[in-house]
Amino acid sequence: MHRNTKLAVSVLMATSMIALAGCSAADAGSDSKTLKIVYEKTDSFTALDTLFKKIKPEFEAAHKGVTVNLQPIQANDDDYSTKLALSQQSADTAPDVFYEDTFRLRSDIDAGYLLNLDGHLDGWADWSKFNEGAKGAGMGDDGSTYAVPLGTDTRGIWYSKPVFTKAGIAVPWQPETWADILTAARKIQATQPGVVPFNMYAGKGTGEGTVMQSFYELLYGTGDSLYNENDQKWVVGSKGFKDSLTFLDTLYSEKLAVDPSDALDPNVWKKVFGELFPKGQLGGTVEGSYTPSFWQKGGSYEWPAYVTDMGVAAFPTQNGDAPHGVSMSGGWTLAVGAKTKNADLAFEFLSLALNKENSLWYDINNSQIAVRTDVAADPTYLAANPFVAAVTDLVSVTHYRPATSDYPKISAEVQAATEAVITRQMSVDEASAAYDKAVEAIVGADKVTK
């Protein structure tokens, strides 16, 4: 699934060159050198490609003999990560700088793909401008930093005001419990045939989107969790896990969400953003803070009316218990490859991409929540879209995925459980039991807790 992200073109500051002033042509030496920059690019995510294309000539002009070889990978998140891992197998194909999902970071550190950046960060004045909490996103188990965050995100309920109004539901809308969501969805179903009342992703097709934009909002709202941080063990036999699957089962069995065949399509999100919402055919969905970037000018699905037609609400806890909302946060980073032969140059390219001016542009055009304090305080950032304040407020109720090397395998099992339920291949109890068994097989009996 998309990670969510997007757009397009804008000015990327002449002041970028200042960051390069300290490195003259002589620094690069007379030998020809090539920096391989590997990153994801999709129909909906072009912001990083745009940024790198701007940086490339600036960087090459400041470093005689250096060629920046941009290598975008046209793939969704999961396929991108697979292809990136394959490229890391050989020094001939391994990237010098690459785009890295935070949830794969620990496993990729363990695999030896990322360069330890501590020495480089010590000499980078801008590092002090990064939010202390955000810095942890790029940290390994050893306490060293291996990647620098591009931005972060939160998740909430995005809903159509016209659809809700036609159903007799007052807006702005803020559900207090899961039952409130089902009540609203059933009202929409009863009053507007052909409209999808309330979608939540499920199944393996949407990959990490299934858990980040759906299942975890449910699970963490029950009071249970995926992983016990204190015991450092994975939770099995969880009532909250079953309750979460039951909620998805209700949505899909009552035809309140998209058809299961659509849910299994990795590109269902394109239908959500490009068709259903703009055409008034969807009541609500759980999605990320980056959502406006699809509809903004230059976005994949430009829709100026989103400013007035859309609303955003916090996803509620199961029974309205405090803290009265649930969000998930993730994000992507830039890292330097462990096999690079030009570590200093690679880090210079990374630091140029993440200076204040370029970070500001990227966060605005990709609807990211800023991780640099100077960007977060910038008036241009604060005025980027009408929902910046609301989605930023969700940071106070957000959760993060377990930062362990086992996590990607666990996530895949959660996705499989949701798919088994919505396609009626397994009951909730059967899918939950299959998940518990799979987790124990992955991590070992001594690493699970009930």
- 2: pLDDT strictly greater than 60: no
Rg (Cα) of the chain, in Å, rounded? Answer: 22
Calculate the average pLDDT of the chain: 91
Q: Would you say 220 and 187 are in contact if contact means Cβ atoms under 8 Å apart? A: no
- Share above pLDDT 90 across residues of the chain, in percent, rounded to a whole number: 81
Non-local (6+) Cβ contacts of 244 within 8 A are: 215, 218, 219, 222
**Is residue 257 within 8 Å of 199, Cβ to Cβ?**
yes
Do 182 and 169 contact (CB within 8 A), yes or no?
Answer: no
What is the longest distance spanned by two Cα atoms in the chain? 72
Say if CB 215 and CB 416 are below 8 A apart: no
pLDDT value, residue 244: 98
Q: Is pLDDT of 117 > 70?
A: yes
> HEC states along the chain?
CCCCCCCCCCCCCCCHHHHHCCCCHHHHCCCCEEEEEEEEECCCCCHHHHHHHHHHHHHHHHCCCEEEEEEEEECCHHHHHHHHHHHCCCCCCCCCEEEEEHHHHHHHHHCCCECCCHHHHHCCHHHHHECHHHHHHHECCCCCECEEECCECCEEEEEEHHHHHHCCCCCCCCCCCHHHHHHHHHHHHHHCCCCEEEECCCCCCCCHHHHHHHHHHHHCCCCCCCEECCCCEEECCCHHHHHHHHHHHHHHHCCCCCCHHHHCCCCHHHHHHHHHCCCCCEEEEEEECCCHHHHCCCCCCCCCCHHHHEEEECECCCCCCCCCCEEEECCEEEEEECCCCCHHHHHHHHHHHCCHHHHHHHHHHCCCECCEHHHHCCHHHHCCCCCHHHHHHHHHHEEECCCCCCHHHHHHHHHHHHHHHHCCCCCHHHHHHHHHHHHHHHHCHHHEEC
pLDDT of residue 27: 41
Q: What is the mean pLDDT of residues 178-204?
A: 98
Nearest-CA neighbor of 197 among 176, 173, 227? 173
Residue 148 pLDDT more than 90? yes
% pLDDT > 70, the chain = 93
Q: If we measure between CA atoms, which residue out of 137, 149, 56, 117 comes closest to residue 343?
A: 117
- Residue in this structure with the two tokens 């394109």, named with its chain if needed: 270
Q: What is the pLDDT of residue 340?
A: 97
Residue 204 is encoded by which pair of tokens? 């393996």
pLDDT at residue 13, as a whole number: 36
Give the mean pLDDT of 396-404.
87
The whole-angstrom distance between residue 145's C-alpha and the CA centroid of its chain comes to 20
Q: Which of 43-47, 135-139, 249-253 has the highest mean pLDDT?
A: 249-253
Lowest pLDDT segment from 20-34, 277-291, 321-335: 20-34
Task: Report which residue type is found at 239.
Answer: K
| Cut 0.85: pTM above it | no
With 0-12 / 13-18 / 19 or more C-beta atoms within 10 angstroms meaning exposed / middle / buried, residue 447 is middle
Task: List domains and CATH numbers for the chain.
Answer: 33-149+332-367 (3.40.190.10), 155-329+401-449 (3.40.190.10)
> Does the pLDDT of residue 127 top 70, yes or no?
yes
pLDDT value at position 31? 53
Q: What is the pLDDT of residue 391?
A: 93
Interval 265-289: pLDDT, tens = 999 999 999 999 999 999 999 999 9
In this structure, of 9-23, 182-196, 198-212, 261-275, the range with the lowest mean pLDDT score is 9-23
Q: What's the pLDDT at 1?
A: 44
Position 208, amino acid: E
Instruction: Fill in the amino acid letter for 163.
Output: V
Q: Looking at the predicted structure, is the pLDDT value of residue 326 above 90?
A: yes
Contact 171/312 with Cβ under 8 angstroms?
no
How far apart CA 20 and CA 63 sit, in angstroms, is 9
Question: Is residue 173's pLDDT more than 70?
Answer: yes
d(CA 411, CA 399): 15
Reply yes or no on whether the pLDDT at 29 is more than 80.
no
100-114 pLDDT, tens digit per residue, is 998 889 889 999 999
**Which of 41, 44, 45 minimizes the C-alpha distance to 75?**
41
Please state the rounded mean pLDDT for residues 415-438: 98
pLDDT at 28 over 50: no
Q: Which two tokens stand for residue 1?
A: 């699934």
**Across 320-331, average pLDDT:** 93
